[in-house]
Structure 1
Amino acid sequence: MYLTRQTPFYRSILPRFPVTDADLIAACRQGSGRAQKLLYERFAGMMLGVCIRYLRRREDAEEAMLGGFAKVFRALDQYRHEGSFEGWIRRIMVNEALGQLRRKEPLHLAIDDMVTDVPATAAEAESNLHAADLLALLADLPAGYRTVFNLYAVEGYTHPEIAELLGISEGTSKSQLSKARAMLQRRLAAASSSASTSSPKEYYATGRY
């Protein structure tokens, strides 16, 4: 899993705990396998969550995450300590997940630039939804809707940035986001209706979202 052998002097490279991100970066740059292991363990769970939002299957998300970490370790010398280290890793993971998505699942991005109006209640319901529930609903969206929603609403990309990243127009990015929110609103309404007749455990077991 790790890209270099542990150096014989690795114990002297890292300070005693707590180990900061800067400590890990410096030690990884010197070839410490222990530092690579600690860096991976510190961010793996979080970055797997990032990849899962874009990819339906956990196996695909894990593959993207591992590929992303390989790029992280190769590119560490390019990190200039400008902005958060976590944010730098996240951008690599998002790009890796998008590449995996293109190979596994066509984005099917709409080519029209029409923006669909979404009721204000959609955004309110979206903000009140528990993270796990929202993740389940997002996973069932068409790939294009899911991708743009994640990039804009979760990662904080702007529409111009999304357009450049995906090779689409800004209008298409806005349209995909609007349609994603509209679809989430309909499914939230359906979920509320189903929840009135089923217990939460029964509801999620049936997958009626």
Structure 2
Amino acid sequence: MDDKALVEACIDGDYSAQKKLYQLYAPQMMGICMRYSSCVADAEDILQDGFIKVYHHLNSYTGQGALGGWMRRIMINIALQRYRESKNVQFLHVEDTDLHLREVSEDVLSRMAADELMAILQRLPIGFRTVFNLYAIEGFKHHEIASKLGISEGTSKSQYSRSKAILREMIEKENIISERAISK
């Protein structure tokens, strides 16, 4: 069954089609949700809310573009909505240092597994992580991020710059720890 037929069956209320849609796309969407959440439980909540919205709005999917891309935007929007609603999340204002001048060697990155990189990304403060995800992974421009998050474009740029610096430090630290463990 292709995506168009699957969508039509879901719109018609076919439970097995809805289940199949979930089974096909949930793993990919969960990865997206994890990038915007602090823990698995939060990511699962975003995923659940996202799929509810997907099912309710399938009739607005035009078939232009990939179904997965359309669903991805819904998941990101749900995650950003939760982010904006969170009263305890604030952007950190950190003094500039020379951290941004350091580079992580390609060798270090090539030895890290995707799950290790995800774990490091999860440890970023939420403001940094959100801006990093939107800019580096999702491809939004800083003015778009600023609009989505209700911050200034300059704040978006500084958050991205600082997130890269912090990630570099974390990756270097992980590499040092891993090398010590291997050498023992």
Q: TM-score if structure 2 supplies the norm length? A: 0.87
- Structure 1: segments with no counterpart, 5+ residues: 1-18, 203-209
How many residues are paired up? 182
Judge conservation of contact 1:126–1:134 (CA < 8 Å) in 2: no
**Which residue is equivalent to 1:39?**
21
Q: Deviations over 1:107-142 (max 9, x none)?
A: 322469x89872362495796443211111111111
Judge conservation of contact 2:104–2:172 (CA < 8 Å) in 1: no
**Which residue is equivalent to 1:3?**
none
Q: Deviations over 1:21-74 (max 9, x none)?
A: 111111112221111111011101111111111111211111110110000011
Q: Matches of 2:14 and 2:102 in 1, distance apart?
A: 51
* 188-197 or 20-29, which deviates more: 188-197
- Structure 2: segments with no counterpart, 5+ residues: none
Percent of paired sites with the same residue: 40
Q: Matches of 1:119 and 1:126 in 2, distance apart?
A: 17
Q: TM-score if structure 1 supplies the norm length? A: 0.77
CA RMSD in angstroms comes to 2.7
Larger radius of gyration: 1
Q: CA deviation at 1:98?
A: 2.2
Question: SS state of the match for residue 180, structure 2?
Answer: coil
More helix by proportion, 1 or 2? 2
Structure with the greater relative contact order (CA < 8 A, sep ≥ 6): 1 or 2? 2
Judge conservation of contact 1:115–1:175 (CA < 8 Å) in 2: no
Q: Matches of 2:87 and 2:2 in 1, distance apart?
A: 38
Q: CA deviation at 1:144?
A: 0.4
